[in-house]
Every structure is written in structure tokens, then in C-alpha cells.
Amino acid sequence: MTGERNTPAFIALTARGAALARRLKAELGGEVHGLTGRVDDADIDFTDTGAHLRAHFAAGRPIVGICAAGILIRALAPLLADKAKEPPVVAVAEDGSAVVPLIGGHRGANALARQIAAILGGDAAITTASDLGTGVALDAPPPGWRLVAAPDLLKTALARMAAGSRPSVTVSPDLAEIDRDWLGPTAADEASPDADRLDIIIAETAAHAADPDALLYVPARHTIGVGCARHCDPAELAALAKQAIGEAGLRREAIAGVFSIDLKSDEAAMQALARELGVPARFYSAGELEAELPRLANPSEAVFREVGSHGVAEAAALAATGPDGQLVVPKMKTANATAAIARAPLPLGDQPGRPRGQLAVIGIGPGADDWRTPEASRLINEAQELVGYGHYLDLIAPLAAGKPTKTFPLGAEEERSRYALERAGEGRNVALISSGDAGIYAMGALVMELLDRPERENGVSAAARRVEVVNAPGITALQAASARIGALVGHDFCAISLSDLLTPRDDIIARVKAAAAGDFVIAFYNPVSARRRTLLNAARDILLGQRPAETPVLIAANLGRAEEKLTPRTLSSLNIDEVDMLTVVLIGSSQSRAFSTGDGQTRFYTPRGYAAKQSMVPTS
């Protein structure tokens, strides 16, 4: 389970478009997204069409725009880069008369367009050449199938399909019962014996080498179960796995996944093997593996005493194939690893077992859609559950729609991080949301601390410590504030939190004095709260002893949001009453400068020293 949502986001810009979107939602699922002021009763409201479209596209979400195709094209053009990864985008006329897949034809857009056209009674304007005659996407086989072909051969095959060729399919005898209807009509079905034939081979054994003139499709119905000692050399496990695949006489594309016991979900060798084979790694509990005992060829009491099941490699391979699977390569072993292979009756399109849990610690920036990184949007979309302070989750409401969420109040940071880790430890894909950058005065460090802390000392469980942690950086307040005002952090700078809830006041004062002596530009985070009203004044007074009274100061509140407010001041005029909890305060160094532009805007910057460098360049 990846947690990725495949239901569409229906983007409506008018009331008429919203009515059509609701009709499609009833058939296809998803949500209706409506432009504020034009669409009532939408599931999700938005004010900036371009930013909203880009956020969902970056997240990998299918998009159906009930609008002109040009709107979608202009909004998404800056993000187009890799057609193999981009999500489906479909434009639908407001009257339902035309449905046009714009992006991701073979990643679901063509199929989605046909579904929509069938619902509305309109036409799907399929422009993907290889799909026009047969509806077959040769480069996108169904789940559980692998295509083996050189890129040039595939391009030639697609062109021939567009010109009227039909597949001529040769099936390995051992796969005679495998369903291949997804290939569409074959050359043998054509009335004319002279029909151009496109050679296709269906096989899974190593004896069928890739034919330079034919497309080879391999059903992935074999599973490789593995076990290994802690910190096993990845090369040792990989060599054993390849030996087992060779023993079975298989092509590596016939392997659907790498399977083992959940105690090994963080084992580097297993993860490396899965990456090398290009397949997922999935895991079972000891109890689930023990249920396979009657089918094991080599049950072991020693393994049972160690992990709670009489086998790992054989049991995991069999468990993944289901009750009708068969063991084809019994356990093989080296000094530190074991491997076995089993076969399922059909290709394994849905991966059995549980993935290694993942916790994505995500910085969403100040909150504006365009300031959130594509990585952050993608990880939010892929997550099965979102965890965070309620206000932060509100900032990503369009991406969070329909997902389970768990909110925690301010002050419950450890509970929040612990919950996210433990949920990920259950095999889930969890996202822990922070504003700004999660590694700067946020949850990133706390997550690392909990992982580092022994369980007996109020750390997290062993299962939680096995999860994969992904850190997605975000634009933090000091970057945003500096950019808004010019380039105040254009030279050396530091950040200091003025919250003494976790840091002793004397330590904070010492850091302010050190920053003042070093003449750093300073970003003060958490400058005040309802109860903390003195440290900012104390910091100002310390700095006034080291730098000019006219030193530029920026009070920046609600950065990137509709309520954004930038208040330029000088160090001597910094007033604590203008600062609140949603504010970052940037104080320039003694070298920072302020000036006004022709349109009356105030700009701050801190020079790097280019003027001095230029003065040393000979003029003659």
C-alpha cells in the first residue's frame, strides 16, 4: 500500500462546471474543487487556479479540469518534465461534449477520458497514436506484467500499432492459461492473412532471451523470500537471490517482490535487493509466517526459537503467493542469508504483505501553495495518514481532503511525533506536517531524538525504530521574510529562538550576545507569546550596544498567507507591541542597508562585499 490516491480532483471554475463535476464525482469518486466566488458547495475551495492546479499536479493527483484546455496547459506547463511520472490530466468541456486527455495518456488519462465520455455521452479525443485503433497501450501493461524491450524497439512497435499492425503473440507453453486479453485483437483474429504482424512473446524463463525484433512481456508471478543476519552484506544476499532465480530458470522480471519477516523490515540488504530487482519489499509477522508451516520444505526449530516461526525465506515466499502458490526453489543459504522462491497461479498485480513503514517529516513552508515543494506535495498525497497541529493541517486542506488526520494541540509536540512514529511502525505511510522547514525549530529533531532514545527511557517501540524516515525540507520563515523585503540575509546570518520553554533564558541571552559580537544578521523565531514579553526587548537592547540604531529590522507576520504583513523598522524603533506569535523578526547586521525604490517600496539587503571587490579591479 502506497497510500497514493487515484481518484480525480475535479476542478470547476463556474457553477455549470461544478454541476458537471458533481455528476462525475458520483460515478468516479474524488472531490469537487471550486473557485471561490464562482462555485458554491464545493468539497474544496480555492482562490488561485494556477497555484491550486500546480499543487495537485506536483502531488501526483489525477486532475479533471471542467474548463478550457488552455487553462490547464498554461498552469501546468512549468512543471512538465517526465512523462513517465506525470499524473493524468483531462480537460472536459462544460457541456460534456468533449473530453481531452492532455497529459499522462498511458498513465491513466486515456482510460479516464473514456470513462468520462461514457458517463456524459460525449467523445473522448484520444490523440495517443498507439491507442487509437485498439485501445491497447503497449508501453503500459497491466499490473503484474513487465515489458522487456529496447526503447527504440518500443517506439517502432508503437508506430506500427498506430499504422494498423496487430499483435502476433507467441506464448511459452507453461503460460498457456495466462490471460492475455489485455493485448486486444491479435493478427490471427484479422480477416486478412496479410495483416501486418507485430511480434510479441509472453514468457518468464531465462531461456527466452529478449528478441531484438519482438516485444517480450513477462508475468511477475514469482516471489522471492529471504532472511539474513543483522547487517548482512548486501552483496551476499544479492548473490544468493540471483543464484535462486537462476536455479528456478527465471528471468529476473518474473519476480514480483522481495518478502521476509517484519523484524527485518529495516535491513539494508533486503531493501538493496528490492531496489536492484526493481520490485517492492514486503513483510509478514512471525504469526503469519508460522501459518505456512504445513507447506515448508525445511522447517527449523532453531529459527522458531529465534524469531517465532519455523521458517522465514520459504514461509515468506509462500505467504506472498496465496493458498494456491507452490514452492519452486526450497531454501538456499549462505553463512548469513537464506532465499527461496515460490510461484503464484496468476501475475501478482496487488502486492501482498506489508511495506516497511514510512514517516515523512514534511515542511510545508509558510503555507502558500506555490511555496510548497513538489516533493512535499507528493509525499502528502502518498501518505495514508496525516499528523500535525490543526492549523498546519488546515493550510494543506486541499491535499488532505479525504485522508485520515490526527491533530494535536500546541505543546503536545512529543505526543505528536511519537504517535506518527508508532503508526508508521505498523506498516503505514504517515506524514508529520510542520510549517516552514520541519528541521528548523520543528518536529524533525524531535523525531530523531525519539528514535535515538532507548525504549526503556521513554523512547519509541522497536517497530517504530524500524521505519524509514524521509525529511522533506520547506521554505522557512527567515528565507521568506528576507525574500519579501529584498535580501537581508545576503551575508552571514543565524537564527535564535526566543522561547525559554525548552531553553534556559541565560542560554538565550548568551547566544544573542554572541550573535551581536559576531555582527550576524539575526532571525528571531518565537519572539513573543502571551506570557513571554521581555526577551525580545532584552535582545534589542543588547544589539543596540553593538550596531547602529538605524539598523534595518523587518517584522514579518503570516508570510505567504492572505494576512501577510511586512513592517519595516529600525533597531531603535522595534516595538514589541507590533510582534505576535505568528511573526519572525529579522534584524540586520551593522552592514545591512535600506533604500526605497521608484514605486515607493522599502528594500533591505546585506551586501556581500562586491563593491569592495569591484574597486580593486583595474579600470585601464
Delimit the CATH 3.40.1010.10 region(s) of the chain.
Answer: 358-475
Query: pLDDT tens, 496-537?
Result: 999 998 899 999 999 999 999 999 999 999 999 878 889 999
Label each residue of 449-483 as H, E or C.
HHHHCCHHHCCCCHHHHCCEEEEECCCCHHHHHHH
List residues bridging with 215 in a β-sheet. 200
State the average pLDDT for the chain.
90
Handedness of CA 274, 279, 282, 288 (dihedral sign): negative
Report pLDDT for 151. Answer: 72
Higher per-residue pLDDT: 126 or 288? 288
Between helices 49-58 and 69-76, what is the axis angle to 10°?
Answer: 70
Tens of pLDDT along 66-80? 999 999 999 999 888
pLDDT at 85: 81
How many angstroms from the chain centroid is the CA of residue 422? 20
Give pLDDT, residue 620.
53
Average pLDDT over residues 137-144: 82
CA distance 139 to 155: 9
Confidence band (pLDDT; 50, 70, 90) for 142? confident
Q: Which of 130, 220, 222, 205 is nearest to 171 (CA)?
A: 205
DSSP secondary structure code for residue 248 in this structure: T
Q: How far is CA 446 from the centre of its chain?
A: 22
Measured distance CA(196)–CA(426) in Å, rounded: 53
From-to residues of CATH 3.40.50.11220 in the chain:
9-132
Model confidence at 617, pLDDT cuts 50, 70, 90, reads low
49: left (phi over 0), alpha (psi -120 to 50) or beta: alpha
| Proportion of the chain above pLDDT 70, given as a percent | 93
Structure confidence by residue, pLDDT tens digits, 555-567: 999 898 888 999 9
- 226 phi/psi in degrees, rounded to 5: -135, 155
DSSP helix/strand/coil, 566: strand
Widest distance between CA atoms in the chain = 94
CATH number of this structure's domain 478-605: 3.30.950.10
| 586 or 165, which is more confident | 586
Which positions ≥6 away from 19 have C-beta within 8 Å? none
Question: Which residues lie below 8 Å from residue 200, measured CB to CB, with a gap of 6+?
Answer: 167, 168, 169, 170, 183, 214, 215, 216, 217
Using only C-alpha atoms, what is the Rg of the chain?
30
What SS3 state is found at 130?
A: helix
Where in the chain is CATH 3.30.420.180? Answer: 222-343
Which residue's C-alpha cell is 457553477? 15
pLDDT band at 420 (very low <50, low <70, confident <90, very high): very high
State percent of the chain over pLDDT 90.
70
Q: Is residue 3 scored above 50 in pLDDT? A: no
Q: How is domain 358-475 classified at the architecture level of CATH?
A: 3-Layer(aba) Sandwich (3.40)
**H or E segment at 79?**
none
How many Cα atoms within 13 Å fall on the side-chain side of residue 124? 19
Distance in angstroms (rounded) separating the CA atoms of residues 92 and 113: 9
> What is the C-alpha to C-alpha distance for residues 306 and 144, in angstroms, rounded to an integer?
34
Residues 6+ apart with CB under 8 A from 165: 157, 187, 195, 196, 197, 198
Q: H helices within 252-400, ranges in order?
A: 268-277, 286-290, 301-307, 313-321, 374-382, 390-395, 397-400
* pLDDT exceeds 50 at position 4: no
- Report pLDDT for 487: 96
By the 8 A CB rule, do 254 and 218 touch?
yes
Confidence of residue 2 (pLDDT cuts 50, 70, 90): very low
Strand partners, 354: 283
Write the single-letter amino acid at 35.
L
The dihedrals phi and psi of 555, each to the nearest 5 degrees, come to -100, 110
For domain 222-343, is the CATH number 3.30.420.180? Answer: yes
C-alpha distances (whole Å) from 546 to each of 169, 517, 542, 571, 605 are 82, 7, 7, 11, 19
Q: What's residue 281's pLDDT?
A: 96
CATH fold of 9-132: Rossmann fold (3.40.50)
Instruction: Using DSSP bridges, classify how beta strands 44-46 and 31-35 pair: parallel, antiparallel or unpaired.
Output: parallel
Average pLDDT over residues 286-313: 96
The mean per-residue pLDDT over the stretch 158-169 comes to 73
Say whether pLDDT at 192 is over 50. no
Q: What stretches of 62-183 show up as alpha helix (H) in DSSP? A: 69-76, 109-120, 129-132, 151-162
CA atoms of 174 and 261, how far apart (whole Å): 31
**Which residues have a Cβ under 8 Å from the Cβ of 400 and sit 6 or more positions away?**
380, 386, 393
Q: 2: which strand partners?
A: none
In this model, does residue 189 exceed pLDDT 60? Answer: no
Could you report the per-residue pLDDT of 260-283, keeping only the tens digit for each? Answer: 999 999 999 999 999 999 999 999
Grid cell, residue 361, equals 517529516
> Running DSSP on this structure, what letter comes out for residue 28?
H
- Strand 98-103 relative to strand 123-124, pairing: parallel
Among 182-186, 381-385, 542-546, the least confident range:
182-186
**Amino acid identity, position 372:** R
Note the pLDDT tens digit of each residue in 434-491: 999 999 999 999 999 999 999 999 999 999 999 999 999 999 999 999 999 999 999 9
Q: Residues of CATH 3.30.950.10 domain(s) within the chain?
A: 478-605
Sheet with 593-596, strands from edge to edge, namely: 486-487, 602-605, 593-596
The residues, any chain, with a CB within 8 Å of residue 110's CB and separated by 6 or more, are 101, 124, 126, 128, 131, 137
Output the pLDDT for position 612. Answer: 64
pLDDT digits (tens, 9 = 90+) for 25-56: 999 999 999 999 999 989 999 989 998 999 89
Q: How many Å apart are CA 437 and CA 287, to the nearest integer?
A: 40
